[in-house]
Amino acid sequence: MKQYVWKTSLLTIMVLSLAGCGKDNDAPTPEPPPSGGENVTVDNVTYANFVGGLFQSRCSSCHTGSGAGTARWVFSGYASVNNNLERINDVVVVRRIMPLNGSLSTRELQLLEAWIAKGAPQN
């Protein structure tokens, strides 16, 4: 009987432990990289329709608040991107050393490069 109680107690503890491993509804879910939709092309890409979402999803985790990248650059919207466009172009498009948390897709790079070449339009 003692062995049955011990096994049942152990099983109960294991089930309760696993139940605690579920998704935390209060935790923010990371945003997926922006797709930009099929209507965004190298000809019509803007900060508003693609690039802003790209920076929000791929750069803000390190370059806002107390993130590790804030010593080099702080992302705070269009003005911060536009004021640092040469540096961003160098590390993201040319040397491709950013973002540290994974490279951009071919489409993301093409749209970002086209946006920079067009003079970084906001809208």
- Rounded to the nearest angstrom, the gap between the alpha carbon of residue 20 and the centroid of all alpha carbons in its chain is 27
pLDDT digits (tens, 9 = 90+) for 36-79: 556 899 999 999 999 999 989 988 787 888 888 878 888 888 99
| Helix (H) or strand (E) run with residue 82 in it | helix 78-83
Kindly report the pTM of this predicted structure.
Answer: 0.67
d(CA 50, CA 108): 9
